[in-house]
């Protein structure tokens, strides 16, 4: 049910924002573009061992990420970026929104956050104070995107999905991802 809600939310927000406000005299000018991306992620995951409720295991996991992005032109220097995707290797689905800052026509920085639904067997959340545990985490990301030409680009992101907390013994998930973008 949660997955259907996230997909519905993406379509509603994308449909409502396809025609960004424009001061041009042209009616229905589309100020957005879509892209498909694939990334290779190097994740550091800290999780509970299966046979122990208290002992943590730290593991580096490689994952492939596939997704769709929608870029909305907000001004000459800023873009709004909405992304939805899924990963294989360490399995999770996500929806993020970022604010992109254009340093040039084909180079930009982005900062944002989103919701991550973690489906991997290694990720076993524990509820606090008797509450029911959830496999949905809210995280942040920072990225660099370089468009090599009008249709092809490369990207690098740092994803901080669940920060490491030394004194609490909680699970953590973060890492770098490198990818290709096709508009």
Query: How confident is the model over 2-58, as pLDDT tens digits?
Result: 666 566 555 555 555 554 554 555 555 668 899 999 999 999 988 776 666 666 778
Domain count, the chain: 1
Query: Which residue range is the domain that position 160 belongs to?
Result: 2-20+29-182
Which 3 state secondary structure label does DSSP give 6? helix
What is the rounded average pLDDT of the residues 63-81? 94
Q: What is the DSSP code string of 12-38?
A: HHHHHHSS----SSSTT---EEEEEEE
**Residue 101 in this model has a pLDDT that exceeds 60:** yes
**Residue 83 in this model has a pLDDT that exceeds 90:** yes
pLDDT score for 31 = 82
The CATH number that applies at residue 82 is 2.40.160.20
| Rounded-to-integer distance, Cα 116 and Cα 45, Å | 14
pLDDT score for 141 = 94
pLDDT score for 1 = 59
Claim: this prediction has a pTM higher than 0.85: no
pLDDT score for 46 = 83
Q: Between 146 and 161, name the one with better pLDDT.
A: 146
Q: How far is CA 30 from the centre of its chain?
A: 24
- Bridge partners of residue 112, in order along the sequence: 98, 141
What is the rounded average pLDDT of the residues 143-148? 96
């Amino acid at each position: 049910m949660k997955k259907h809600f996230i997909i519905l939310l993406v379509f509603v927000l994308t449909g409502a924002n396809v025609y960004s406000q424009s001061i041009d005299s042209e009616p229905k000018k589309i100020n957005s573009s879509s892209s498909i991306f694939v990334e290779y992620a190097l994740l550091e995951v800290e999780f509970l061992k299966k046979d122990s409720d208290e002992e943590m295991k730290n593991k580096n996991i490689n994952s492939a990420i596939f997704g769709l992005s929608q870029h909305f032109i907000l001004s000459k220097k800023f873009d709004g970026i909405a992304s939805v995707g899924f990963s294989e290797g360490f399995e999770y689905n996500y929806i993020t929104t970022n604010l992109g800052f254009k340093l040039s026509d084909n180079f930009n920085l982005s900062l944002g956050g989103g919701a991550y639904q973690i489906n991997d067997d290694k990720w076993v959340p524990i509820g606090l104070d008797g509450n029911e545990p959830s496999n949905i985490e809210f995280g942040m990301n920072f990225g660099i995107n370089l468009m090599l030409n009008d249709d092809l680009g490369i990207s690098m992101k740092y994803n901080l999905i669940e920060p490491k907390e030394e004194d609490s013994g909680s699970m953590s998930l973060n890492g770098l991802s490198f990818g290709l973008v096709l508009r």
